[in-house]
């Protein structure tokens, strides 16, 4: 076998391997501290869909104005979010504050065969 044919076969194998790779995206959902329960349930449903597709999800809670002084309310909302997703997701990044935002990243649980 000549070198050109070998190189061609190697490149074809690499292309096939690249096709089979799974690209994980990070989808984002934004909420506020005063977001109503029904709206939260709707957002949770969105995040569930993202996780079932195999993507990660970033839950961002945005504080406006003087809401930043009541971070405990925001933490309670984001903890509720995490509790609702506990059956399907694992928290990859714990809730933390970055400026006027409180965010966490959740990833789908690994399925055992």
State pLDDT tens for residues 43-98: 999 999 999 998 999 999 999 999 999 999 999 999 998 999 999 999 999 999 99
Which has the closest alpha carbon to 60: 26, 24, 11?
Answer: 26
**Does 1.10.287.3510 match the CATH number of domain 23-108?**
no
Cα 57 from chain centre: 1
| pLDDT-derived band at 110, boundaries 50, 70, 90 | confident
Q: What predicted TM-score, i.e. pTM, was given to this entire model?
A: 0.75
Which has the closest alpha carbon to 108: 84, 92, 97?
Answer: 92
Give the 3-state DSSP-derived string for the chain, with helices as H, strands as E and coil as C. CCHHHHHHHHHHHHHHHHHHCCCCCEEEEEECCCCCHHHHHHHHHHHHHHHHCCCEEEEEEECCHHHHHHHHHHHHHHHHHHHHCCCCEEEEEEEEEECCEEEEEEEECCCCC
State pLDDT tens for residues 89-106: 999 999 999 999 999 999
Which sequence spans correspond to the domains of the chain? 23-108
């Amino acid at each position: 076998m000549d070198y050109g044919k070998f190189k061609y076969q190697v490149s074809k194998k690499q292309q096939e391997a690249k096709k089979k790779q799974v690209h994980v995206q990070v989808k984002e959902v934004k909420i506020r501290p005063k977001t109503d329960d029904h709206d939260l349930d709707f957002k949770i449903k969105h995040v569930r869909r993202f996780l079932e597709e195999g993507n990660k999800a970033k839950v961002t809670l945005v504080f406006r104005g003087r809401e930043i002084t009541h971070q405990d309310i925001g933490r309670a909302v984001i903890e509720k979010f995490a509790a609702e997703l506990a059956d399907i997701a694992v928290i990859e990044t714990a809730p933390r504050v970055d400026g006027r935002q409180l965010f966490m990243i959740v990833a789908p649980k690994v399925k055992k065969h």
